[in-house]
Structure 1
Protein backbone atom coordinates (compact mmCIF):
# COMPACT_ATOMS: atom_id res chain seq x y z
CA UNK A 1 0.00 0.00 0.00
CA UNK A 2 1.40 3.42 -0.94
CA UNK A 3 2.08 6.04 1.73
CA UNK A 4 0.20 9.31 2.07
CA UNK A 5 2.82 11.97 2.82
CA UNK A 6 2.74 14.70 5.41
CA UNK A 7 4.01 17.87 3.72
CA UNK A 8 5.26 20.80 5.81
CA UNK A 9 6.58 24.20 4.73
CA UNK A 10 10.30 23.62 5.28
CA UNK A 11 12.94 21.38 6.79
CA UNK A 12 12.82 23.11 10.18
CA UNK A 13 9.08 22.45 10.44
CA UNK A 14 9.77 18.81 9.59
CA UNK A 15 12.45 18.69 12.28
CA UNK A 16 10.13 20.15 14.90
CA UNK A 17 7.34 17.67 14.14
CA UNK A 18 9.62 14.62 14.07
CA UNK A 19 11.30 15.67 17.34
CA UNK A 20 7.87 16.06 18.95
CA UNK A 21 7.00 12.54 17.79
CA UNK A 22 10.18 11.15 19.33
CA UNK A 23 9.39 12.80 22.67
CA UNK A 24 5.82 11.50 22.54
CA UNK A 25 7.00 7.94 21.88
CA UNK A 26 9.60 8.17 24.64
CA UNK A 27 6.98 9.32 27.12
CA UNK A 28 4.95 6.19 26.35
CA UNK A 29 7.80 3.75 27.07
CA UNK A 30 8.32 4.38 30.78
CA UNK A 31 11.83 4.29 32.15
CA UNK A 32 13.46 1.79 29.82
CA UNK A 33 16.07 2.71 27.18
CA UNK A 34 14.58 4.10 23.97
CA UNK A 35 16.33 2.93 20.81
CA UNK A 36 16.37 5.65 18.14
CA UNK A 37 17.65 4.65 14.71
CA UNK A 38 19.58 7.54 13.22
CA UNK A 39 21.09 8.51 9.88
CA UNK A 40 24.13 10.76 9.70
CA UNK A 41 24.34 13.61 7.20
CA UNK A 42 22.06 16.51 6.39
CA UNK A 43 18.57 15.02 6.31
CA UNK A 44 17.94 14.55 10.03
CA UNK A 45 19.94 17.55 11.27
CA UNK A 46 16.77 19.67 11.81
CA UNK A 47 15.46 16.85 14.03
CA UNK A 48 18.66 16.71 16.05
CA UNK A 49 18.68 20.49 16.45
CA UNK A 50 15.06 20.44 17.64
CA UNK A 51 15.88 17.71 20.19
CA UNK A 52 18.80 19.81 21.43
CA UNK A 53 16.45 22.76 21.98
CA UNK A 54 14.15 20.54 24.05
CA UNK A 55 17.15 19.31 26.06
CA UNK A 56 18.26 22.88 26.70
CA UNK A 57 14.82 23.59 28.16
CA UNK A 58 15.16 20.69 30.58
CA UNK A 59 13.74 17.68 28.73
CA UNK A 60 15.51 14.54 29.94
CA UNK A 61 16.79 12.58 26.95
CA UNK A 62 19.27 10.42 28.83
CA UNK A 63 17.28 7.24 28.00
CA UNK A 64 18.04 7.59 24.29
CA UNK A 65 20.22 4.91 22.70
CA UNK A 66 21.52 6.18 19.37
CA UNK A 67 21.51 3.31 16.84
CA UNK A 68 23.43 4.47 13.77
CA UNK A 69 22.56 3.10 10.34
CA UNK A 70 26.03 2.73 8.89
CA UNK A 71 29.62 3.93 8.74
CA UNK A 72 32.37 4.41 6.21
CA UNK A 73 35.22 1.91 5.99
CA UNK A 74 38.89 2.48 5.21
CA UNK A 75 40.80 0.48 2.56
CA UNK A 76 41.38 -2.27 5.15
CA UNK A 77 37.58 -2.46 5.67
CA UNK A 78 37.82 -1.08 9.19
CA UNK A 79 35.60 1.76 10.41
CA UNK A 80 37.18 5.11 9.66
CA UNK A 81 38.61 7.03 12.62
CA UNK A 82 35.87 8.79 14.62
CA UNK A 83 37.81 12.07 14.51
CA UNK A 84 37.13 12.35 10.77
CA UNK A 85 34.20 14.58 9.89
CA UNK A 86 32.58 11.84 7.80
CA UNK A 87 32.79 9.17 10.49
CA UNK A 88 29.24 8.21 11.41
CA UNK A 89 30.35 7.32 14.92
CA UNK A 90 31.99 10.74 15.22
CA UNK A 91 28.88 12.39 13.75
CA UNK A 92 26.69 10.70 16.35
CA UNK A 93 28.85 11.98 19.17
CA UNK A 94 29.36 15.52 17.85
CA UNK A 95 25.99 16.24 16.23
CA UNK A 96 23.53 14.19 18.31
CA UNK A 97 24.85 13.22 21.75
CA UNK A 98 26.98 16.26 22.67
CA UNK A 99 24.27 18.86 21.91
CA UNK A 100 21.82 16.87 24.06
CA UNK A 101 24.16 17.21 27.03
CA UNK A 102 23.84 13.58 28.07
CA UNK A 103 26.33 10.69 27.94
CA UNK A 104 24.28 8.68 25.51
CA UNK A 105 25.00 5.13 24.42
CA UNK A 106 25.90 5.03 20.71
CA UNK A 107 25.74 1.88 18.60
CA UNK A 108 27.49 1.51 15.24
CA UNK A 109 27.71 -1.69 13.16
CA UNK A 110 30.98 -3.60 13.33
CA UNK A 111 32.32 -4.61 9.89
CA UNK A 112 34.01 -7.63 11.50
CA UNK A 113 30.66 -8.90 12.84
CA UNK A 114 27.81 -7.34 10.86
CA UNK A 115 25.16 -9.84 11.85
CA UNK A 116 26.00 -9.21 15.50
CA UNK A 117 24.43 -5.76 15.07
CA UNK A 118 21.08 -7.29 14.16
CA UNK A 119 21.36 -9.73 17.03
CA UNK A 120 22.04 -6.90 19.51
CA UNK A 121 19.08 -4.88 18.21
CA UNK A 122 16.79 -7.89 18.38
CA UNK A 123 17.97 -8.83 21.87
CA UNK A 124 17.12 -5.29 23.03
CA UNK A 125 13.57 -5.59 21.77
CA UNK A 126 14.03 -3.77 18.47
CA UNK A 127 14.39 -0.14 17.45
CA UNK A 128 11.56 1.94 18.89
CA UNK A 129 11.67 4.54 16.12
CA UNK A 130 13.95 4.59 13.08
CA UNK A 131 14.55 7.89 11.28
CA UNK A 132 15.16 7.18 7.60
CA UNK A 133 16.68 9.16 4.75
CA UNK A 134 16.89 8.50 1.02
CA UNK A 135 19.63 9.12 -1.49
CA UNK A 136 18.68 11.71 -4.09
CA UNK A 137 20.42 10.11 -7.04
CA UNK A 138 19.90 6.38 -6.55
CA UNK A 139 17.46 5.90 -3.67
CA UNK A 140 20.01 4.34 -1.35
CA UNK A 141 18.95 3.97 2.27
CA UNK A 142 21.76 3.81 4.79
CA UNK A 143 24.41 2.33 2.44
CA UNK A 144 22.05 -0.16 0.80
CA UNK A 145 22.75 0.15 -2.92
CA UNK A 146 20.37 -0.32 -5.85
CA UNK A 147 19.92 -4.05 -6.32
CA UNK A 148 20.06 -4.84 -2.60
CA UNK A 149 17.92 -7.95 -1.98
CA UNK A 150 14.85 -7.59 0.23
CA UNK A 151 16.23 -10.03 2.82
CA UNK A 152 19.52 -8.15 3.33
CA UNK A 153 20.63 -7.79 6.94
CA UNK A 154 23.58 -5.74 8.23
CA UNK A 155 26.49 -6.18 5.85
CA UNK A 156 29.63 -4.68 4.31
CA UNK A 157 29.04 -3.22 0.86
CA UNK A 158 30.80 -1.44 -1.97
CA UNK A 159 29.43 2.08 -2.53
CA UNK A 160 28.26 3.03 -6.00
CA UNK A 161 29.19 6.27 -7.71
CA UNK A 162 25.76 7.87 -7.21
CA UNK A 163 25.88 7.23 -3.45
CA UNK A 164 29.41 8.59 -3.25
CA UNK A 165 28.46 11.70 -5.22
CA UNK A 166 25.47 12.28 -2.91
CA UNK A 167 27.88 12.19 0.02
CA UNK A 168 30.16 14.75 -1.62
CA UNK A 169 27.33 17.19 -0.97
CA UNK A 170 27.18 16.20 2.69
CA UNK A 171 30.90 16.55 3.38
CA UNK A 172 32.45 19.58 1.62
CA UNK A 173 36.00 18.30 2.17
CA UNK A 174 35.24 15.66 -0.47
CA UNK A 175 36.23 17.83 -3.42
CA UNK A 176 36.89 14.86 -5.71
CA UNK A 177 35.06 11.57 -6.07
CA UNK A 178 38.24 9.59 -5.37
CA UNK A 179 38.34 11.11 -1.87
CA UNK A 180 35.06 9.42 -0.86
CA UNK A 181 35.44 5.96 0.73
CA UNK A 182 34.48 3.10 -1.56
CA UNK A 183 33.02 0.78 1.10
CA UNK A 184 30.75 0.97 4.10
CA UNK A 185 29.04 -1.19 6.69
CA UNK A 186 25.28 -0.79 6.81
CA UNK A 187 22.08 -2.10 8.30
CA UNK A 188 20.15 -4.03 5.66
CA UNK A 189 16.74 -3.21 4.32
CA UNK A 190 15.38 -6.22 6.20
CA UNK A 191 17.06 -4.99 9.40
CA UNK A 192 15.06 -1.77 9.09
CA UNK A 193 11.78 -3.45 8.18
CA UNK A 194 11.94 -6.33 10.64
CA UNK A 195 13.61 -4.79 13.69
CA UNK A 196 11.83 -1.42 13.90
CA UNK A 197 8.53 -0.76 15.65
CA UNK A 198 7.99 2.48 13.73
CA UNK A 199 9.81 4.40 11.00
CA UNK A 200 9.75 7.96 9.73
CA UNK A 201 11.11 8.66 6.26
CA UNK A 202 12.28 12.28 5.97
CA UNK A 203 12.55 13.83 2.49
CA UNK A 204 13.59 17.47 2.25
CA UNK A 205 14.90 19.74 -0.48
CA UNK A 206 14.17 20.21 -4.18
CA UNK A 207 17.01 17.83 -5.02
CA UNK A 208 14.98 15.04 -3.39
CA UNK A 209 11.89 15.47 -5.58
CA UNK A 210 12.59 12.33 -7.63
CA UNK A 211 13.10 10.35 -4.41
CA UNK A 212 9.81 11.70 -3.04
CA UNK A 213 8.01 10.69 -6.24
CA UNK A 214 9.47 7.18 -6.21
CA UNK A 215 8.58 6.56 -2.57
CA UNK A 216 5.03 7.93 -2.81
CA UNK A 217 4.37 5.78 -5.88
CA UNK A 218 5.77 2.57 -4.38
CA UNK A 219 3.43 -0.14 -3.13
CA UNK A 220 6.16 -2.64 -2.23
CA UNK A 221 9.95 -2.79 -2.02
CA UNK A 222 11.64 -1.92 -5.31
CA UNK A 223 15.23 -3.13 -5.34
CA UNK A 224 16.35 -0.48 -7.84
CA UNK A 225 15.34 2.22 -5.30
CA UNK A 226 16.07 0.75 -1.84
CA UNK A 227 14.44 3.52 0.21
CA UNK A 228 11.08 2.15 -0.96
CA UNK A 229 11.49 -0.37 1.87
CA UNK A 230 9.64 2.19 3.99
CA UNK A 231 6.33 0.98 2.56
CA UNK A 232 6.95 -2.50 4.01
CA UNK A 233 7.90 -1.26 7.48
CA UNK A 234 5.69 -1.35 10.55
CA UNK A 235 3.95 1.95 11.34
CA UNK A 236 5.57 4.01 8.54
CA UNK A 237 5.31 7.77 8.12
CA UNK A 238 6.56 9.77 5.14
CA UNK A 239 7.18 13.42 5.95
CA UNK A 240 8.51 15.95 3.46
CA UNK A 241 9.01 19.64 3.03
CA UNK A 242 7.32 21.63 0.27
CA UNK A 243 10.49 21.80 -1.80
CA UNK A 244 10.72 18.02 -2.07
CA UNK A 245 7.02 17.40 -2.55
CA UNK A 246 6.19 20.05 -5.12
CA UNK A 247 8.19 20.54 -8.31
CA UNK A 248 8.27 24.23 -9.10
CA UNK A 249 7.40 25.16 -12.69
Structure 2
Protein backbone atom coordinates (compact mmCIF):
# COMPACT_ATOMS: atom_id res chain seq x y z
CA UNK A 1 0.00 0.00 0.00
CA UNK A 2 1.42 3.39 -0.96
CA UNK A 3 1.77 6.26 1.50
CA UNK A 4 0.12 9.56 0.58
CA UNK A 5 2.49 12.47 1.18
CA UNK A 6 1.95 15.61 3.19
CA UNK A 7 3.76 18.47 1.43
CA UNK A 8 4.74 21.58 3.37
CA UNK A 9 6.47 24.78 2.21
CA UNK A 10 9.99 24.12 3.48
CA UNK A 11 12.18 22.07 5.80
CA UNK A 12 11.43 24.30 8.80
CA UNK A 13 7.70 23.76 8.36
CA UNK A 14 8.34 20.02 8.14
CA UNK A 15 10.44 20.16 11.31
CA UNK A 16 7.72 22.04 13.18
CA UNK A 17 5.12 19.48 12.13
CA UNK A 18 7.32 16.56 13.17
CA UNK A 19 8.14 18.08 16.56
CA UNK A 20 4.47 18.80 17.22
CA UNK A 21 3.61 15.19 16.41
CA UNK A 22 6.30 13.93 18.79
CA UNK A 23 4.93 16.07 21.61
CA UNK A 24 1.35 15.03 20.86
CA UNK A 25 2.30 11.35 20.95
CA UNK A 26 4.21 11.79 24.19
CA UNK A 27 1.22 13.54 25.76
CA UNK A 28 -1.00 10.62 24.78
CA UNK A 29 1.19 8.09 26.63
CA UNK A 30 1.89 7.81 30.33
CA UNK A 31 4.77 5.36 30.39
CA UNK A 32 8.12 5.85 32.06
CA UNK A 33 9.77 6.54 28.71
CA UNK A 34 9.02 7.39 25.10
CA UNK A 35 11.40 5.85 22.57
CA UNK A 36 12.13 8.13 19.60
CA UNK A 37 14.09 6.57 16.74
CA UNK A 38 16.41 9.19 15.28
CA UNK A 39 18.57 9.60 12.18
CA UNK A 40 21.70 11.70 12.31
CA UNK A 41 22.48 14.32 9.68
CA UNK A 42 20.57 17.02 7.86
CA UNK A 43 17.13 15.44 7.54
CA UNK A 44 16.25 15.46 11.21
CA UNK A 45 17.82 18.79 12.15
CA UNK A 46 14.71 21.02 11.64
CA UNK A 47 12.72 18.70 13.92
CA UNK A 48 15.47 18.62 16.54
CA UNK A 49 15.71 22.42 16.52
CA UNK A 50 11.94 22.64 16.89
CA UNK A 51 12.02 20.27 19.87
CA UNK A 52 14.58 22.54 21.54
CA UNK A 53 12.31 25.54 20.96
CA UNK A 54 9.42 23.67 22.59
CA UNK A 55 11.69 22.73 25.50
CA UNK A 56 12.60 26.40 25.97
CA UNK A 57 8.89 27.14 26.29
CA UNK A 58 8.46 24.51 29.00
CA UNK A 59 7.85 21.21 27.18
CA UNK A 60 8.87 18.23 29.31
CA UNK A 61 11.15 15.96 27.26
CA UNK A 62 12.57 14.06 30.22
CA UNK A 63 10.75 10.84 29.21
CA UNK A 64 12.30 10.90 25.76
CA UNK A 65 14.82 8.16 24.95
CA UNK A 66 16.89 8.98 21.87
CA UNK A 67 17.32 5.75 19.90
CA UNK A 68 19.90 6.29 17.18
CA UNK A 69 19.63 4.29 13.97
CA UNK A 70 23.28 3.61 13.29
CA UNK A 71 26.89 4.67 13.65
CA UNK A 72 30.16 4.49 11.79
CA UNK A 73 32.57 1.78 12.89
CA UNK A 74 36.27 1.13 12.42
CA UNK A 75 38.47 -1.92 12.95
CA UNK A 76 39.43 -2.47 16.56
CA UNK A 77 41.48 -5.06 18.39
CA UNK A 78 41.54 -8.70 17.27
CA UNK A 79 39.72 -8.00 14.01
CA UNK A 80 36.59 -6.67 15.70
CA UNK A 81 34.80 -3.41 14.98
CA UNK A 82 34.21 -0.50 17.34
CA UNK A 83 32.20 2.69 17.03
CA UNK A 84 34.15 5.74 15.97
CA UNK A 85 35.09 8.08 18.79
CA UNK A 86 32.10 10.15 19.93
CA UNK A 87 34.22 13.28 19.76
CA UNK A 88 34.53 13.04 15.99
CA UNK A 89 32.12 15.35 14.14
CA UNK A 90 30.65 12.47 12.12
CA UNK A 91 30.04 10.15 15.08
CA UNK A 92 26.31 9.43 15.27
CA UNK A 93 26.54 9.13 19.06
CA UNK A 94 28.34 12.46 19.13
CA UNK A 95 25.70 13.93 16.82
CA UNK A 96 22.98 12.89 19.26
CA UNK A 97 24.87 14.39 22.17
CA UNK A 98 25.66 17.68 20.44
CA UNK A 99 22.76 18.25 18.05
CA UNK A 100 19.75 16.59 19.70
CA UNK A 101 20.30 16.41 23.45
CA UNK A 102 22.66 19.37 23.85
CA UNK A 103 20.36 22.16 22.60
CA UNK A 104 17.47 20.80 24.69
CA UNK A 105 19.59 20.52 27.84
CA UNK A 106 20.82 24.09 27.35
CA UNK A 107 17.31 25.50 27.68
CA UNK A 108 15.56 23.02 29.98
CA UNK A 109 16.19 20.84 33.00
CA UNK A 110 13.55 18.48 31.56
CA UNK A 111 15.81 17.08 28.84
CA UNK A 112 16.16 13.47 27.66
CA UNK A 113 18.31 11.34 29.95
CA UNK A 114 19.27 8.51 27.60
CA UNK A 115 20.85 8.00 24.18
CA UNK A 116 20.98 4.50 22.72
CA UNK A 117 23.31 3.50 19.90
CA UNK A 118 23.84 0.00 18.43
CA UNK A 119 26.99 -1.85 19.50
CA UNK A 120 28.94 -3.52 16.67
CA UNK A 121 30.12 -6.16 19.14
CA UNK A 122 26.51 -7.22 19.82
CA UNK A 123 24.14 -6.03 17.09
CA UNK A 124 21.37 -8.43 18.05
CA UNK A 125 21.46 -7.03 21.56
CA UNK A 126 20.10 -3.72 20.26
CA UNK A 127 16.94 -5.39 19.00
CA UNK A 128 16.60 -7.17 22.34
CA UNK A 129 16.92 -3.93 24.31
CA UNK A 130 14.35 -2.21 22.09
CA UNK A 131 11.94 -5.15 22.45
CA UNK A 132 12.41 -5.25 26.23
CA UNK A 133 11.50 -1.55 26.38
CA UNK A 134 8.26 -2.21 24.52
CA UNK A 135 9.38 -1.08 21.06
CA UNK A 136 10.00 2.29 19.47
CA UNK A 137 7.07 4.64 19.94
CA UNK A 138 7.89 6.83 16.94
CA UNK A 139 10.68 6.37 14.41
CA UNK A 140 11.87 9.29 12.28
CA UNK A 141 13.15 8.02 8.95
CA UNK A 142 15.26 9.44 6.15
CA UNK A 143 16.17 8.16 2.70
CA UNK A 144 19.57 8.32 1.10
CA UNK A 145 19.50 10.58 -1.95
CA UNK A 146 21.74 8.51 -4.15
CA UNK A 147 20.80 4.92 -3.37
CA UNK A 148 17.79 4.92 -1.07
CA UNK A 149 19.63 3.58 1.96
CA UNK A 150 17.76 3.86 5.24
CA UNK A 151 19.95 4.04 8.31
CA UNK A 152 22.94 2.15 6.86
CA UNK A 153 20.83 -0.54 5.16
CA UNK A 154 22.33 -0.82 1.70
CA UNK A 155 20.56 -1.59 -1.59
CA UNK A 156 19.87 -5.30 -1.65
CA UNK A 157 19.28 -5.56 2.11
CA UNK A 158 16.78 -8.36 2.81
CA UNK A 159 13.40 -7.35 4.18
CA UNK A 160 13.93 -9.48 7.30
CA UNK A 161 17.28 -7.88 8.23
CA UNK A 162 17.74 -7.02 11.88
CA UNK A 163 20.47 -4.88 13.47
CA UNK A 164 23.77 -5.77 11.83
CA UNK A 165 27.24 -4.67 10.77
CA UNK A 166 27.45 -3.78 7.08
CA UNK A 167 29.94 -2.51 4.50
CA UNK A 168 28.93 0.86 3.08
CA UNK A 169 28.64 1.31 -0.67
CA UNK A 170 30.17 4.24 -2.48
CA UNK A 171 26.80 5.95 -3.06
CA UNK A 172 26.02 5.90 0.66
CA UNK A 173 29.47 7.18 1.50
CA UNK A 174 29.17 10.01 -1.04
CA UNK A 175 25.73 10.94 0.38
CA UNK A 176 27.34 11.21 3.77
CA UNK A 177 30.01 13.56 2.46
CA UNK A 178 27.14 16.00 2.06
CA UNK A 179 25.79 15.20 5.51
CA UNK A 180 29.12 15.76 7.23
CA UNK A 181 31.21 18.50 5.55
CA UNK A 182 34.23 17.28 7.51
CA UNK A 183 34.47 14.54 4.90
CA UNK A 184 36.40 16.39 2.22
CA UNK A 185 37.29 13.28 0.22
CA UNK A 186 35.72 9.85 -0.10
CA UNK A 187 38.67 8.10 1.53
CA UNK A 188 37.84 9.86 4.81
CA UNK A 189 34.40 8.23 5.07
CA UNK A 190 34.44 4.96 7.07
CA UNK A 191 33.74 1.89 4.99
CA UNK A 192 31.54 0.10 7.54
CA UNK A 193 28.66 0.86 9.85
CA UNK A 194 26.42 -0.77 12.43
CA UNK A 195 22.75 -0.23 11.74
CA UNK A 196 19.25 -1.15 12.75
CA UNK A 197 17.83 -3.51 10.16
CA UNK A 198 14.98 -2.99 7.76
CA UNK A 199 12.84 -5.30 9.86
CA UNK A 200 13.98 -3.62 13.08
CA UNK A 201 12.36 -0.45 11.78
CA UNK A 202 9.18 -2.10 10.50
CA UNK A 203 8.57 -4.60 13.29
CA UNK A 204 9.77 -2.63 16.31
CA UNK A 205 8.03 0.73 15.79
CA UNK A 206 4.45 1.72 16.49
CA UNK A 207 4.58 4.67 14.11
CA UNK A 208 7.04 6.09 11.57
CA UNK A 209 7.49 9.44 9.89
CA UNK A 210 9.56 9.55 6.71
CA UNK A 211 10.99 13.02 6.13
CA UNK A 212 12.10 14.05 2.63
CA UNK A 213 13.39 17.58 2.10
CA UNK A 214 15.41 19.36 -0.56
CA UNK A 215 15.89 19.21 -4.31
CA UNK A 216 18.54 16.52 -3.87
CA UNK A 217 15.85 14.18 -2.50
CA UNK A 218 13.52 14.33 -5.52
CA UNK A 219 14.39 10.81 -6.65
CA UNK A 220 13.79 9.54 -3.12
CA UNK A 221 10.40 11.25 -3.07
CA UNK A 222 9.47 9.73 -6.43
CA UNK A 223 10.56 6.22 -5.47
CA UNK A 224 8.87 6.18 -2.08
CA UNK A 225 5.56 7.74 -3.15
CA UNK A 226 5.33 5.22 -6.00
CA UNK A 227 6.19 2.17 -3.89
CA UNK A 228 3.51 -0.38 -3.05
CA UNK A 229 5.79 -2.70 -1.09
CA UNK A 230 9.39 -3.01 0.03
CA UNK A 231 11.81 -2.69 -2.88
CA UNK A 232 15.27 -4.01 -1.96
CA UNK A 233 17.06 -1.76 -4.45
CA UNK A 234 15.71 1.27 -2.52
CA UNK A 235 15.54 0.19 1.15
CA UNK A 236 13.75 3.36 2.31
CA UNK A 237 10.61 1.99 0.63
CA UNK A 238 10.15 -0.12 3.78
CA UNK A 239 8.12 2.84 5.07
CA UNK A 240 5.12 1.53 3.12
CA UNK A 241 5.20 -1.68 5.18
CA UNK A 242 5.52 0.04 8.56
CA UNK A 243 2.70 0.50 11.03
CA UNK A 244 1.06 3.95 10.97
CA UNK A 245 3.35 5.52 8.35
CA UNK A 246 3.44 9.21 7.47
CA UNK A 247 5.47 10.79 4.69
CA UNK A 248 6.20 14.51 5.04
CA UNK A 249 8.08 16.38 2.32
CA UNK A 250 8.84 19.96 1.43
CA UNK A 251 8.01 21.62 -1.87
CA UNK A 252 11.59 21.33 -3.10
CA UNK A 253 11.58 17.54 -2.82
CA UNK A 254 8.03 17.14 -4.12
CA UNK A 255 8.52 19.41 -7.16
CA UNK A 256 5.57 21.59 -6.23
CA UNK A 257 5.24 25.35 -6.08
CA UNK A 258 5.32 27.19 -2.76
TM range (shorter): over 0.9
Q: Which residue of 2 aligns with 1:33?
A: 33
Give the alignment of 1:104-115 within 5 angstroms: 104-115=113-124
Q: Which residue of 1 aligns with 2:44?
A: 44
1:200 maps onto 2:204 in alignment: no
Distance verdict in 2 for CA 1:21–1:103, change over 3 Å: closer
Q: CA deviation at 1:75?
A: 2.8
Normalised to the residue count of structure 2, the TM-score between the two structures is 0.95
* Cα distance between partner residues in 1 of 2:256 and 2:28: 38
Query: Contact 1:209/1:247 (CA < 8 Å) preserved in 2?
Result: no
Q: How many residues align?
A: 248
Q: Which residue of 1 aligns with 2:74?
A: 74
* Cα distance between partner residues in 2 of 1:66 and 1:104: 9
Q: Which residue of 1 aligns with 2:94?
A: 90
1:214 maps onto 2:237 in alignment: no
Q: CA deviation at 1:32?
A: 2.0
1:117 maps onto 2:97 in alignment: no
Is there any run of 5+ residues in structure 2 with no aligned partner, and where?
106-110
Query: Contact 1:206/1:247 (CA < 8 Å) preserved in 2?
Result: no
* Cα distance between partner residues in 2 of 1:220 and 1:173: 36
Q: CA deviation at 1:247?
A: 6.7
Query: Contact 1:140/1:146 (CA < 8 Å) preserved in 2?
Result: yes
* Cα distance between partner residues in 1 of 2:162 and 2:30: 29
Give the alignment of 1:148-187 within 5 angstroms: 148-187=157-196
SS in 1 for 2:75: coil
| 4+ aligned runs moved over 4 Å, structure 1 | none
Q: Which residue of 1 aligns with 2:2?
A: 2
Query: Contact 2:208/2:242 (CA < 8 Å) preserved in 1?
Result: yes
Render the CA deviation track for 1:59-92: whole Å, top value 9, x for unaligned. Answer: 1101000000000001332100000000000100
Q: Which residue of 2 aligns with 1:100?
A: 104
Q: CA deviation at 1:215?
A: 0.1
